[in-house]
Amino acid sequence: MAEITAGLVKDLREKTGAGMMDCKRALAETGGDIETAVDWLRKKGLAAAAKKSGRVAAEGLIGVASVPARAAMVEVNAETDFVARNETFQHFVETVTRIALHVGEDVEAILAAPFPDTGRSVAEELTHLVATIGENMTIRRARVLSVKQGVVATYVHSALKPGLGKIGVLVAVESSSELAGLEVLGRQVGMHVAATRPEALDTDAVDPAALERERAVLSDQARASGKPEAIIEKMVEGRIRKYYEEVVLLEQVWVHDGESRVKAVVQKAGARLTGFARFQLGEGIEKQSGDFAAEVAAAAGV
């Protein structure tokens, strides 16, 4: 049996595009014979899946799931919107989201977890799904929130089915109040977050670098007025308060009445928000533009 060297693994990766650990396993299973290892990877669907791994996956689904006092949200991407309507893909997203409830929000931990009733890990099941459906897919990110007393409410905007959609929100509400009322409040806050896209829970949580950039811009704008520095300082502080009202959840105007502050609504309910998360499908992914029909024709050589 040939020694499984780093160079051999590298050669197999270059031939197939498969992952390093899959290549090492293939070489171990085939006695270090690289051509047989290529066939082993192809039979497992790993080489076919790897060839798709460079393609942009910005579609897919956001999944949310909850148990008492805890909720999880996961984004699973695919290449086209058609996959979101595939029942097998939907089942995968639902299952992965439930797994995240138990293993946490670290994507590597989720990928390493067993996928129920398959004998495969989540990573292996994902590879199998890629080979079966024929599109690149990735588990992009996950978030898990929990509370000691209260609820973690979930909201999915324009849900494809319960717990699955393209915008998902988690809201952690701490309180000793009756849970049904907290769920209603949490869902209302979730709808608010989906609409307003806050960047921080409270003023203390605002990114210091972002705040400093904003303050610098506002200072330059104020100085252009030619007013004294004492006046400029007051102008900047006033505009910083306005900035907080735009990006801080608790400082925002409640979308449900257009008048109250979110913090006032929450306080009136005898509750406290301790965290939130908002996922929008594909946000931040640079999507490739092009004519899909033309791509198919080019691939077919017509």
* pLDDT tens digits, 140-170: 999 999 999 999 999 999 899 999 999 999 9
- E strands present in 68-166: 70-78, 114-115, 120-121, 138-146, 150-157, 164-165
Residue type, position 264, single letter = A
Torsion-angle region of 178 (φ positive above 0: left; ψ -120 to 50: alpha; else: beta) = beta
Q: Are 157 and 165 in contact (CB under 8 A)?
A: yes
pLDDT greater than 50 at residue 187: yes
pLDDT greater than 60 at residue 76: yes
**79 versus 65: which is more confidently predicted?**
65
Residue 169's pLDDT is what?
98
What is the end-to-end Cα distance of the chain in Å, rounded?
Answer: 46
pLDDT greater than 50 at residue 292: no
pLDDT band at 135 (very low <50, low <70, confident <90, very high): confident
pLDDT greater than 70 at residue 97: yes
Residue 219's pLDDT is what?
81
Neighbours of 68 (CB within 10 A): 11
**189 versus 4: which is more confidently predicted?**
189
Pick from 123-137, 151-165, 222-236 the range whose average pLDDT is largest: 151-165
Residue 296's pLDDT is what?
42
**CA distance to 106, 121, 247, per residue, from 118 (Å):** 22, 8, 44
pLDDT greater than 80 at residue 287: no
Residue 300's pLDDT is what?
43
What are the domain boundaries of the chain? 6-51, 59-200+269-280
pLDDT band at 49 (very low <50, low <70, confident <90, very high): low
**13 versus 70: which is more confidently predicted?**
70
Residue 37's pLDDT is what?
84
Task: Compute the distance between CA of residue 189 and CA of residue 180 in angstroms, rounded to an integer.
Answer: 14
Average pLDDT score over residue span 165-182: 95
**34 versus 185: which is more confidently predicted?**
185
**Contacts of residue 287, Cβ cutoff 8 Å, sequence gap at least 6:** 56, 58
CATH architecture of 6-51: Orthogonal Bundle (1.10)
Output the CATH code of domain 59-200+269-280. Answer: 3.30.479.20
Give the tens place of pLDDT for each residue, 6-27: 888 878 776 666 667 778 888 9
Residue 302's pLDDT is what?
38
Residue 14's pLDDT is what?
67
pLDDT greater than 70 at residue 295: no
pLDDT greater than 80 at residue 293: no
pLDDT greater than 50 at residue 297: no
Fold equal for 6-51 and 59-200+269-280: no
Task: Compute the distance between CA of residue 206 and CA of residue 208 in angstroms, rounded to an integer.
Answer: 6
In the chain, the percentage of residues whose pLDDT exceeds 70 is 86
